[in-house]
Structure 1
């Protein structure tokens, strides 16, 4: 009979401990959901404040004396009414070496990468900068500078 007396409090204690753990899990899940929502809201707010698309990567490929560039652009506010519509390649002196126009938004592909046609880079140019363009605001945003492969 004594064994049952000790057994019942053990079951009650175990049940209470498990119940308290379940409550902590819910609290942790609620905190994680709240943090994710907060981060999502901050991302949306930052996207609304972003005026220009950002070039996040660029890679030059040489073929003889001509080059192609693959450009990755991030445009989080991308809509059919306002989107990244192109990029340009600049020499260190600001001369435009190439331009590429995009014909539509890439709302469901963020960031997205496209390759432009061939262009020449003068022998005295060791690096180029790629800059994105927004159809409403023109050129601006983060740029990427790439060493010319020779």
Structure 2
């Protein structure tokens, strides 16, 4: 599912519909207590409350949501920016997941950022 999703993103990346899609530039994943911590850096041409990056999610290979981080306000003057999500519990054996960002106006981006977790 994800491979098809990424292929679609590559084929449509030049279209105007994706011109304002949030771009994930960096993801750091680390063990934190019983769960995981994810620090996600993204860029988006936020214009204010009417158009801004308003969230990101962690998804598995089948596209199932593992966790969601809501972004509560625009970051017009802070680009790119990093936000964290802590205490994420992952299924046993999961070693690869994807991060996908959301825009308040255009919805979920078709671009994903692959994350390979370090073995424990």
With the shorter chain as reference, the TM-score category is 0.7 to 0.9
- Answer 1 or 2: higher relative contact order, Cα 8 Å, separation at least 6: 2
Distance 1:123 1:49, change over 3 A: closer
Runs of 4 or more above 3 Å deviation: 46-49
1:125 and 2:97 matched: no
- Alpha-carbon separation, structure 1, partners of 2:94 and 2:63: 11
Q: Which residue of 1 aligns with 2:26?
A: 57
In structure 2, do the counterparts of structure 1 residues 121 and 49 end up closer, same or farther at CA, with 3 Å as the change threshold? closer
CA distances 1:21-72 after superposition (whole Å, capped 9, x unpaired): xxxxxxxxxxxxxxxxxxxxxxxxx999614211111111112441110000
Q: State the partner residue of 1:116.
A: 85
Runs of 5+ consecutive residues of structure 2 not aligned to the other structure = 1-14
Higher helix share: 1
* Number of corresponding residues: 105
Q: Which has the higher strand share?
A: 2
Return the TM-score normalized by structure 2.
Answer: 0.77
CA RMSD, 1 decimal: 2.2
Show the counterpart of 2:104: 135
Any residues of structure 2 matched to 1:1-150 within 5 Å, and which?
A: 50-149=19-118, 150=120
Bigger CA radius of gyration: 1
TM score, norm. by length of structure 1 = 0.63
Q: Which runs of 5+ in 1 are unaligned?
A: 1-45
